[in-house]
Structure 1
Amino acid sequence: MVENTQVQVDEHGHQEHPVSLYLKIWVLLFILSGFSYMVDFMHLEGLLRWSLILLFMFLKAGLIISVFMHMMWERMALICAILIPPLALTLFIGIMAIESNYTFFSRLMFFTGS
């Protein structure tokens, strides 16, 4: 999606990324935001609507994290240290959501006597 650009290093060791990369990502973020607004404009409903909204949201967040927060150029250890804990929390929240249905239905059966 994003081309591998040359990173320039100045005499002080600071990295400089080309402005064209940031402009391309900026335009891509506007396009993805436009698609996100089109989901509401087209009056999509149900699972399709929420799936598209979440897809565009994750794409925009990924672009912002990788380019504007400079994650694309970081070491893999730092990337893993920053990204793995939220992914693990998301997994555990999903497991708890599945388990909550079991607990809810168990309580319904016990307290209503059905």
Structure 2
Amino acid sequence: MAEVTLHATTHTPPVAHAEGHQHPIKLYLVVWGWLFVLSTCSYLVDYFNLQGYLRWSLIVLFMMLKAGLIVAVFMHMAWERLALAYAILLPPLLLLVFVGIMVFESDYTLLSRIIFFKAGA
């Protein structure tokens, strides 16, 4: 009869992420630099006295970029699960879509009021 020997294999458990994982300081300095550049660009919009939709588009663009950097790096959202990121980021994005829809609707409402009240005069 053949003898069967079982060899014990050493199995090491997967390494868990350490609590309080530190990111390199260079990452934070680079993000801080980008925030400074974006704030300077936002200031230059006022300095060059841009007006109309260009002004507000640039201000909102720079604001969203700065908020995105802050949320992604300083609030550690870049390292969270995708479901949690969607739960936090999706509602503000949907609000922006609804605001855009309301802007188009307001133009239509204004036009219909002008036509209606002009016809009644």
What range is the shorter-chain TM-score in? 0.7 to 0.9
1:103 to 94, 102, 109: 109
1:85 aligns with 2:80: no
- In 1, Cα distance between the equivalents of 2:91 and 2:35? 26
**TM-score under structure 1 normalisation?**
0.74
* Rounded Cα–Cα distance in structure 2 between residues aligned with 1:100 and 1:38: 30
Task: Please give the alpha-carbon distance, in whole angstroms, between the structure 2 residues aligned to 1:63 and 1:43.
Answer: 26
Compare 81-90 and 36-45 and name the one that shifted more: 36-45
Moved more, 50-59 or 72-81: 50-59
Q: Which position in structure 2 is the counterpart of 1:26?
A: 32
Corresponding residue for 1:75? 81
Name 1:40's counterpart in structure 2. Answer: 46
**Aligned positions, number:** 104
TM-score, normalising length from structure 2?
A: 0.71
Change (3 A) 1:52 1:99: closer
Q: Which has the larger radius of gyration?
A: 2
Between the aligned partners of 1:112 and 1:15, the Cα distance in structure 2 is 66
Question: In structure 1, what is the equivalent of residue 11 of structure 2?
Answer: none
Pair 33,87 (structure 1): closer, same or farther in 2 beyond 3 Å: same
Q: Which has the higher contact order (CA 8 A, sep 6+)?
A: 2
- Where does structure 1 lack aligned partners over 5 or more consecutive residues? 1-8
SS at match of 1:15: coil
Query: Any gaps of 5 or more consecutive residues in structure 2?
Result: 1-16
Q: Percent identity?
A: 58
